[in-house]
Amino acid sequence: VQGVALPVSGIRWGSASLGIRRPDRDDLAVMAIAEGSTSAVVFTRNRLPAAPVILAREHLALTPPRFLLVNSGNANAGTGALGMRDALTTCRALAMHGGCATEAVLPFSTGIIGEPLPVARITEALPRALEALSDDGWMAAARAIMTTDTVPKTSAVTVSIGGIPVTITGIAKGAGMIAPDMATLLAFVATDATVSKPVLGACLEHAAARTFNRITVDGDTSTNDACSLVATAHAPAPPITEPVGEAYQAFSSAVTEVCRTLAQAIVRDGEGATKFVTIEVGGCPSEGAALDIARAVANSPLVKTALFASDPNWGRILVAVGRAVSPDIDVERLTIHLNGLCVFRDGARAMGLTEEDARAAMAVPEIVIAIDLGSGRYATTVWTCDLSYDYVRINAEYRS
Amino acid sequence: VQGVALPVSGIRWGSASLGIRRPDRDDLAVMAIAEGSTSAVVFTRNRLPAAPVILAREHLALTPPRFLLVNSGNANAGTGALGMRDALTTCRALAMHGGCATEAVLPFSTGIIGEPLPVARITEALPRALEALSDDGWMAAARAIMTTDTVPKTSAVTVSIGGIPVTITGIAKGAGMIAPDMATLLAFVATDATVSKPVLGACLEHAAARTFNRITVDGDTSTNDACSLVATAHAPAPPITEPVGEAYQAFSSAVTEVCRTLAQAIVRDGEGATKFVTIEVGGCPSEGAALDIARAVANSPLVKTALFASDPNWGRILVAVGRAVSPDIDVERLTIHLNGLCVFRDGARAMGLTEEDARAAMAVPEIVIAIDLGSGRYATTVWTCDLSYDYVRINAEYRS
């Protein structure tokens, strides 16, 4: 459920203000993880990852993390060797205060690219963040990791494992990028269930592939994207150690649900977004083909500007489908529906379709574009938003 | 040279008005091709090609074309079986008037998607277009094929083949899409040189790959894109029958030059464009890698809005380079220059770079973004424009 943040036994968040950009609000958050927890993280696929991504990946391979250290306002990306040293310095400072190995701290940064990380400010603020650590710190942390998101994003569910309820709670920040260079998706999810590390990794990969990797605001992938999943084993539910069976399925579905809620909240809060758009592609010979088509439609500036205008412009959808590289398409079998209204069938505009009906179907803030190739049994869903004047204003005008 | 249209012996153009959208200007053009000419055409790679593309491809395989029939205002795309019949009807009418086989007519359409082709208007206007046929008809044809381009696009060069001058002239229409659904690149190039059909095809493939396929306004590929190259053999220059040797190289280079001029004119006239941007990617392990990176940068909405704002935002370029899928990148070897000014080197912002210098480098209408991976000898160039308020206005507001 969006906007809810249930405590997770074994997880505490503390936040503090670095006093740079926004003295009135926190921009540093620390997650303290109970000993005995397992953790998994998925990182950006961008080939030029930021320093904290490189370091977090190294640390994660060495030892189970005890702290996540998150700052907003500075991405520590495009900062070279200095950026690596700075990230390490902040991890070392937190490890000293927290009484753990430096490798047990994972750093995450979001904000401006190419500026040096404010290391001294971060190390000075760490004791305040640690003092603030609390089971109830999720919502404060959700606010602290925001850059120019307009709302904090949280989600939580409870699910029964072997008859025992466990909690899964997550927070995320998104693609609201009012200041140029700010573009990162960060998500932190935790549960009190007992889950082995390989199974936790499989759950997170599965969830991320179907949620965070199925949203697009503008088709760009940040240098800093990361999503973590921690299992504290504090609940008395039976352990999940194999990626099969009823308990695994229930847990994995619940993790995916929490991630989906967070991912959709990011799209709803996308830059300049006025529409929430679901693109459902079915009848494909493979899931890859469905995804290629869904992404081609979702990232088409022509489709996105038509959505902004509430214009039932199926011609632009047709062009984007035809541009997708994967499959050969039989146009006679292709159908396109806009919010349930068939606009394209039998190779041409649907018989009897009126401009009035089509416009009425689009004149709502949530739009489902359903595309069926009629050539297979694979399907996928992608979520996106429209392209408005405000997108250009937000990304062009701030520094002008 | 842009804006020039030299006559080509053996080629005549005639144009006429269909009297629908723009009674004040022509929107039908016919190219008459002398007997004994060879022709090659490259078509859109969109998997949902328009009816005229399907029919032109079929006709081209059967017999050497004697007429090209071009209408603007209606794309005859997304029109199903009716669209195929309509395209054939117009070819048949022109063949009857022109005294040739129906298969010797190639149809081309550009304009609104999903509306029936105005067949009666076209067949009525054909005699007027044929009466107007003239060696000097190139400029009038360049105007007739415009949809919402703001300037006609022509280019011509002369080149010496075996000591004899031959002429290469081309016209194009582009990606100015002020009315929604209008999105087609059409280009028609002709020469009086003598060139065998296979060599002509190779020349056109080579030229299109390096010119029309290296431009992007918004990353979408129309259902109707096509480019033709006709050789009339009217000049006394020696025939070119092999894709090797000095004469072939001279001719092929000249064709590429004509196409490059037309392609760049299309970008300069792109929707809402305020900047002409050249993206040069070098030091790559393969040409494919260079092209992936160049296209990722050229199509990034974040890079394009920064260009609109004259913002030297190398962080967004870095993100787009890292997103390109092909190569592994050694960030230490990567350099980025903006109009000759180094902004990124040794894994971070270039030493000594000032915001003032970077802004000054961007405050011009033509911008070169040079990206070098330092990891190979392959390079490529892509041309694009910025993303402005007018792009959104043009594509969102017209039908609202």
Distance from CA of B297 to the nearest CA of A (A): 10
Of the candidates B349, B392, B393, which has its C-beta nearest A78's C-beta?
A: B349
Residues of B in contact with A348 (CB under 8 A): 78-83, 114
> Which residues, in sequence order, are bridge partners of residue B70?
B29, B108
pLDDT averages per 10-residue partition of chain A, 400 residues? 87 93 87 96 86 96 97 92 97 97 96 91 97 97 89 93 94 62 75 96 92 78 84 95 93 94 87 90 93 90 89 89 79 94 94 91 93 94 88 67
- Alpha carbons B165 and B111: distance in angstroms, whole number: 37
Residue B398 has pLDDT above 70, yes or no: no
- A78·B318 Cβ contact <8 A: yes
Distance of CA A306 to CAs A126, A174, A303, B224, B392, Å?
A: 47, 24, 5, 20, 9
- B78·A316 Cβ contact <8 A: no
The candidate with the shortest Cα–Cα distance to A31, out of A133, A172, A140, A116, is: A133
Of the CA atoms within 13 Å of residue A262, those in its CB half-sphere come to: 35
Confirm whether pTM is higher than 0.90. no
- Alpha carbons B352 and A251: distance in angstroms, whole number: 53
Residues of A in contact with B400 (CB under 8 A): 309-311
Tokens of A46: 């961008």
Q: Does B396 lie at the interface with A, CB-CB under 8 angstroms?
A: yes
pLDDT for the residue numbered A273? 86
Distance from CA of B177 to the nearest CA of A (A): 10
pLDDT for the residue numbered A181? 41
- Helix A389-396 to helix B389-396 angle, to the nearest 10 degrees? 170
Average pLDDT over residues B71-94: 95
Distance from CA of A23 to the nearest CA of B (A): 25
pLDDT for the residue numbered A271? 78
pLDDT for the residue numbered A58? 97
Mean pLDDT (chain A) is 90
- Alpha carbons A105 and A30: distance in angstroms, whole number: 10
Q: Does B77 lie at the interface with A, CB-CB under 8 angstroms?
A: yes
Tokens of B309: 């704002």
pLDDT for the residue numbered A46? 81
- A47·B80 Cβ contact <8 A: no
- B327·A392 Cβ contact <8 A: no
pLDDT interval class at B326 (50, 70, 90): low
pLDDT for the residue numbered B177? 44
pLDDT for the residue numbered A149? 83
What is the dihedral angle through the alpha carbons of A233, A237, A241, A246, rounded to the nearest 10 degrees? -140
- A47·B323 Cβ contact <8 A: yes
Of the candidates B222, B309, B334, which has its C-beta nearest A400's C-beta?
A: B309
CB B284 within 8 A of CB B324: no
Residue B46 has pLDDT above 90, yes or no: no
Q: Give the pLDDT confidence of B15-38 residue by residue, as tens digits.
A: 999 987 777 889 999 999 999 999
Mean pLDDT (chain B) is 90
Contacts of B138 (CB under 8 A, 6+ apart): B5, B6, B7, B13, B154, B169, B171
Average pLDDT over residues B207-232: 84
Q: Does B43 lie at the interface with A, CB-CB under 8 angstroms?
A: no
Of the candidates B154, B184, B232, B256, the residue annotated as catalytic is B184
Q: Does B5 lie at the interface with A, CB-CB under 8 angstroms?
A: no
Residue B399 has pLDDT above 50, yes or no: no
Residue B217 has pLDDT above 80, yes or no: no
Kindly identify which residue of chain A lies nearest to residue B322, measuring between CA atoms: A47
Residue B179 has pLDDT above 70, yes or no: no
Residue B160 has pLDDT above 50, yes or no: yes
Kindly identify which residue of chain B lies nearest to residue A328, measuring between CA atoms: B47
pLDDT for the residue numbered A327? 67
For chain A, the straight-line distance linking the first and the last C-alpha, in angstroms and rounded, comes to 39
For chain B, the straight-line distance linking the first and the last C-alpha, in angstroms and rounded, comes to 39
Kindly identify which residue of chain A lies nearest to residue B51, measuring between CA atoms: A347
Q: Give the pLDDT confidence of B299-321 residue by residue, as tens digits.
A: 888 898 889 989 888 988 998 89
Of the candidates B308, B323, B389, which has its C-beta nearest A221's C-beta?
A: B323
Q: Does B338 lie at the interface with A, CB-CB under 8 angstroms?
A: no
Distance from CA of A224 to the nearest CA of B (A): 10
Of the candidates B114, B219, B316, which has its C-beta nearest A315's C-beta?
A: B114
- B310·A79 Cβ contact <8 A: no
Contacts of B306 (CB under 8 A, 6+ apart): A180, A395, A396, B312, B313, B316
| C-alpha torsion sign, points A335, A338, A339, A345 | negative
Instruction: Kindly give the residue spans of alpha helices, DSSP state H, lying in chain B.
Output: 51-62, 80-98, 119-131, 138-144, 197-210, 246-268, 287-298, 301-308, 314-323, 355-362, 389-396
Of the candidates B223, B306, B400, which has its C-beta nearest A395's C-beta?
A: B306
pLDDT for the residue numbered B325? 66
Q: How many inter-chain contacts (A to B, CB under 8 Å) are there? A: 220
Kindly identify which residue of chain B lies nearest to residue A306, measuring between CA atoms: B396
CB within 8 Å of chain A, chain B residues 264-293 = none
Number of continuous H segments (helices) and E segments (strands) in chain A: 11, 16
